[in-house]
Amino acid sequence: MLVKIFASAIFGVSAQTIIVEVNIDQGVGYHLVGLPDSAIKESNFRINAALKNSDLKLPGKKITINMAPADLQKEGSAYDLPIAIGILAASEQVNSEQLNKYIMMGELSLDGSLRPIKGALPIAIQAKEEGFEGIILPKQNADEAAVVEGIVVFSVDNIREVVDYFNGDIILQPHQVNLDDYFFSEMNNYPFDFADVKGQENVKRAMEIAAAGGHNIILIGPPGSGKTMLAKRIASILPKMTVQEALETTKIHSVAGKLSNKSLIVSRPYSSPHHSISDVALVGGGSYPQPGEISLAHNGVLFLDELPEFKRTVLEVMRQPLEDREVTISRAKFTVNYPASFMLVASMNPSPSGYFMDDPNNTSSLAEMQRYMNKISGPLLDRIDLHIEVNPVPFDDLSQERRGEKSAVIRERVINARNIQTKRFENTKVHYNSQMGPKELDAFCDLDDHSKNLIKVVMEKLNLSARAYDRIIRVGRTIADLDNSETILSKHISEAIQYRSLDRNQWM
């Protein structure tokens, strides 16, 4: 007897339906085909033990299993459940009339219970798009899949429940979640606040601008000046994610197996990898490609502390994602794309000793400082919108009892600026100012003559590139949005130039 069970495979952050065909015939044997990996090939041992411990039996006949399409590599142990149900249905231990309405996934334990899987959210989205009535998943994945509206999610503890459901012995209740509860519970759940930062008002202003327009920013200053402290607090002033952004971010974390106990990520991610990270770990890849840190920071912040300590090859692979906001991983037989629209926040010292050239504490020679700075390429720095000098906080500012402005107050101004941008770009694919291309710059960023002259003088003096020219205008547009100004006036461009004019020649 031949039966078909529907499962799903993850490619990138999307799912593709897999048909598990099970045929039982005369003879003895167990044949599994369709490019399964080692974890799938070992499934017969788990399935055999799970069925016996669930008062079910593996038929002693010739079992042939094909996973179609056969030319796509399948990986992982999540196919245990569909294979097992297919065997039971082909041996007439399970009623097969309703099987074609569901996608089912789950790893079997030897006692028949189900373990959680990766990628439940993209699987649910794909099942809805292809018109399936529902999906059957381990209970640990139920909340994650149930955030998708328009599809029934059944959560089960073990394979016996699945068998009894299809045989009509029990009734499974659809699993439901309330999205409003997730957004409300984590809306203001930030461990750090800008109120803790004393002094550094100009840096706070720059970080507010960066948050309002989604701009990349680098903080340059001596040790102990507050660079890391400031960077850790930037997520607290970003607007809360929309439902669409939350789903995009959750899909990536689900595929990477990083959701833990969360079923929906509603707080903007903040990723801070160690400088010893490899290029594959940062941008993604591997034999079976997985998303890297820049994709895990999608719709959030990627903080690279002590930027020159990262390997140059690691930093250089970020150049393309910073421009395209996605990562393409190519292999001989397939290509996957991972979203990577993140806000880069970096920090560094101006020299190996940690100080600027004119600081009496500086012990680095000019040659040492040049070698130190050469660890960061010009093209990478060119893709960072705001270059901010962070100076040590004077004692008078440190000793004052008055706290700084709270993150909640700053966030309100950022949200107002983002609302202006949302209205401006409502008929485009752009969401905020840092994403503007040439067409949007021409349409929304008219410059007066004084602003053009200012930019011309700065470009000629500092030898800035055309990319830097565009980024100055984008930052100026964001400053105007924060000030609720309809046009880009010269004062906004002047402030944008101040945040861009700090180049490596001035640090030495």
Strand ranges, E, within 58-128: 62-68, 102-104, 107-108, 114-115
Query: What local confidence, expressed as pLDDT, does residue 204 receive?
Result: 93
* Residue 261 and residue 22 in contact, taking contact as beta carbons nearer than 8 Å: no
C-alpha triplet 177, 138, 264: angle, nearest 5°: 35
For the structural domain made of 188-408, what CATH number should be given?
Answer: 3.40.50.300
Per the structure block, which two tokens stand in for 398? 């440190």
- pLDDT tens by residue, the chain, 508 residues: 899 999 999 988 999 999 999 999 998 899 999 999 999 999 999 999 999 999 999 998 999 999 999 888 899 999 999 999 999 999 999 999 999 999 999 999 999 999 999 999 999 999 999 999 999 999 999 999 999 989 999 999 999 999 999 999 999 999 988 877 776 655 556 788 898 888 888 999 999 999 999 999 999 999 988 899 999 999 999 998 888 899 999 999 999 988 876 778 888 999 999 999 999 999 998 877 889 999 999 999 999 999 999 999 999 999 999 999 999 888 777 788 999 999 999 999 988 888 887 788 888 888 888 888 888 888 999 999 999 999 888 877 777 777 789 999 999 999 999 999 999 999 888 999 999 999 999 888 888 888 889 889 888 888 888 999 999 999 999 999 999 887 777 788 988 988 887 654 554 4
* Residue 177 and residue 184 in contact, taking contact as beta carbons nearer than 8 Å: no
In whole angstroms, give the CA distance from residue 77 to residue 467.
47
Q: Name the residue among 40, 406, 397, 32 with its Cα closest to residue 204.
A: 406
29-33: strand order across its sheet: 29-33, 62-68, 14-25, 2-11, 102-104, 134-138, 152-156
Please report, for residues 207, 299, 301, 361, 394, the alpha-carbon distance to residue 272 in angstroms, rounded to integers and kept in the order given: 17, 14, 8, 29, 28
Q: Position 258: which residue type?
A: K
Q: Is 9 helix (H, G, I), strand (E, B) or coil?
A: strand
Count Cα neighbours of 392 within 13 Å in the Cβ-side half-sphere: 11
Q: Position 476: which residue type?
A: G
Query: What local confidence, expressed as pLDDT, does residue 216 receive?
Result: 96
Instruction: Tell me the torsion sign for CA atoms 248, 342, 200, 455.
Output: negative
430: Cβ contacts below 8 Å, ≥ 6 apart: 436, 437, 440
Kindly indicate whether the domain formed by 2-167 is annotated with CATH number 3.30.230.10: yes
Dihedral of CA atoms 418, 424, 427, 433 in degrees, nearest 10, equals -60
In whole angstroms, give the CA distance from residue 482 to residue 420.
9
| Domain extents in the chain | 2-167, 188-408
Per the structure block, which two tokens stand in for 141? 């994945």
In whole angstroms, give the CA distance from residue 51 to residue 416.
58
CB atoms within 10 A of CB 486: 8
In whole angstroms, give the CA distance from residue 303 to residue 342.
10
Query: What local confidence, expressed as pLDDT, does residue 292 receive?
Result: 94
In whole angstroms, give the CA distance from residue 32 to residue 421.
54
DSSP notation for 209-241: HHHHHT--EEEE--TTSSHHHHHHTGGGGSPPP
How far the first Cα of the chain sits from its last, in Å, is: 78
Phi, psi of 23, deg, nearest 5 = -125, 130
- Its pTM stands at 0.88
Q: Name the residue among 3, 49, 254 with its Cα closest to residue 137.
A: 254
